[in-house]
């Protein structure tokens, strides 16, 4: 992939060039770089093993209407830039209707599009134009929960005996599943919240406005599969499956990585393989490699999964001037099934998570990269790459070199290529 020069200081929203972009090659004068020409989609079913991914927040990327909000048409207008950059697959975080209390991960309708972002026609145009340039597009799909504003939840709380009454996990008290950890320790005191309408408690692994779906009810999985089919029929090339370790609850466990969760993923993969061969399932499971390996199954669950623990160790290695943190975690990473791949990254839309480090390592990372408390969020750091690295081009280039050298397919975060 092409790495354009970085500005001396981070800039605002990355504006892709509409004209040829001057680049200073090593040992030569500046030249004009034209957008990539003649690329086509590979018919290799393992295309993702050689791909460069690029996560882009549509609402922050390019505004085509002058409203101050990025949109699908704006993203489509910058596809030549992304093709020139060497991007093989764009990953779009949630664009569904949402109250917006968790960056769109609180979904209100699985088959809709936020009005500010665009229309279904705009999405179809984006997909067609990206495919014409040899770029695939995957989207987030939040399989674990919905917004409390979702029509299913509204119906469930108002009519317990109705068609959506058991689409969520309800109990008369809040004593169930005591071994399940609280993930958002900064904001949540319990995984249960009392609903004054239904007069019962509902289960949520994340924010209290994000009730967990009840996959013990087979109708829930059918609803989710049909929503996936909707986007796959439109031309989406796959999904990043959000928060997959938490789909099933079971007393006496920590409610993570349970066998029944893997059965659900096998059902999703079987549908994709049978009806949409060549499409991708990317698991978001913030777990240790020996746990995440289970989300590949026997090459019958997810095609890819993020390697979360290697990410903070890249930053740790940089500060310590030692490759030991990277070598150690890679040595603890098991071999993958033949048709599977790791996804590696430096930054993304979430905080730089420090869940998969020791308490001592977490304190070290906070001291080195987030000395001011407001830079911290939950068990992580909420800063972009360039500020984390003191806007130092050498460090930014080195970290990208390390990323590209790791086993797996790299996932870039929009704007990092220009030091945003």
Active site amino acids: 242, 284
> Strands 380-381 and 376-377, how do they pair?
antiparallel
Q: For residues 10 and 420, is the Cβ–Cβ distance under 8 A?
A: yes
Which phi and psi (to 5°) does residue 390 adopt? Answer: 60, 30
CA end-to-end distance (rounded Å), the chain = 19
Give 113-122's long-range contacts (Cβ < 8 A, gap of 24+).
113/72, 114/59, 116/59, 116/67, 116/69, 116/71, 117/58, 117/59, 117/69, 117/70, 117/71, 117/72, 118/58, 118/71, 118/72, 118/73, 119/72, 120/234, 122/71, 122/72, 122/73, 122/76
Rounded-to-integer distance, Cα 140 and Cα 160, Å = 30
Contacts of 312 (CB under 8 A, 6+ apart): 352, 353, 354, 356, 357, 361, 365
Structure tokens at 390: 């003191």
Question: Reduced to 3 states, what is the DSSP secondary structure of residue 370?
Answer: coil
Q: How far, in Å, CA of 328 to CA of 136, rounded?
A: 34
d(CA 23, CA 40): 25
| Distance (Å, whole) CA 24 – CA 362 | 39
- C-alpha span between 116 and 94 (Å, rounded): 13
CA distance 114 to 118: 7
Structure tokens at 268: 């999703």
């Amino acid at each position: 992939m092409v790495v354009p020069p970085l500005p001396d200081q981070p800039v605002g929203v990355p504006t892709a060039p509409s004209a040829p972009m001057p680049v200073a090659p090593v040992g030569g004068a500046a030249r004009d770089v034209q957008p990539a020409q003649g690329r086509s989609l590979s018919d290799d079913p393992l295309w993702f093993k050689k791909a460069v991914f690029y996560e882009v927040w549509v609402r922050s990327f390019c505004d085509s209407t002058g409203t101050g909000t990025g949109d699908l048409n704006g993203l489509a207008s910058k596809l030549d830039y992304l093709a020139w950059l060497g991007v093989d697959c764009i990953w779009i975080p949630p664009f569904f209707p949402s109250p917006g209390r968790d960056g769109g991960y609180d979904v209100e309708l699985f088959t809709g599009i936020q009005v500010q972002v665009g229309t279904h026609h705009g999405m179809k145009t984006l997909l067609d134009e990206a495919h014409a340039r040899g770029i695939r597009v995957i989207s987030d799909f939040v399989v674990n929960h919905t917004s409390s504003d979702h029509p299913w939840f509204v119906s469930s709380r108002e009519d317990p005996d109705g068609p959506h009454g058991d689409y969520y996990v309800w109990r008369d008290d809040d004593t169930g599943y005591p071994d399940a950890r609280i993930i958002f320790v900064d904001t949540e005191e319990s995984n249960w919240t009392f609903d004054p309408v239904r007069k019962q408690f509902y289960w949520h692994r994340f924010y209290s406005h994000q009730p967990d779906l009840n996959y013990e009810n087979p109708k829930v999985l059918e609803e989710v599969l049909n929503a996936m089919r909707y986007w796959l029929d439109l031309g989406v090339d796959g999904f990043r499956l959000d928060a997959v370790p938490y789909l099933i609850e079971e007393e006496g466990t920590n409610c993570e990585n349970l066998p029944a969760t893997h059965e659900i993923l096998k059902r999703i993969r079987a549908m994709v393989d049978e009806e949409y061969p060549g499409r991708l399932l990317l698991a978001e499971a913030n777990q240790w490699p020996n746990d995440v390996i289970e989300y590949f199954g026997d090459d019958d669950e997810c095609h890819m999964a993020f390697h979360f623990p290697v990410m903070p160790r890249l930053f740790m290695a940089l500060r310590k001037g030692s490759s030991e943190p990277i070598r150690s975690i890679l040595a603890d990473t098991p071999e993958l099934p033949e048709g599977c791949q790791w996804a590696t990254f430096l930054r993304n839309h979430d905080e730089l998570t420090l869940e998969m480090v020791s308490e001592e390592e977490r304190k070290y990372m906070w001291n080195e990269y987030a000395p001011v408390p407001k830079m911290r969020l939950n068990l992580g750091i909420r800063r972009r790459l360039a500020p984390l690295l003191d806007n130092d081009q050498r460090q930014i280039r080195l970290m990208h070199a390390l990323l590209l050298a790791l086993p797996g397919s790299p996932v870039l975060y929009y704007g990092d290529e220009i030091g945003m």
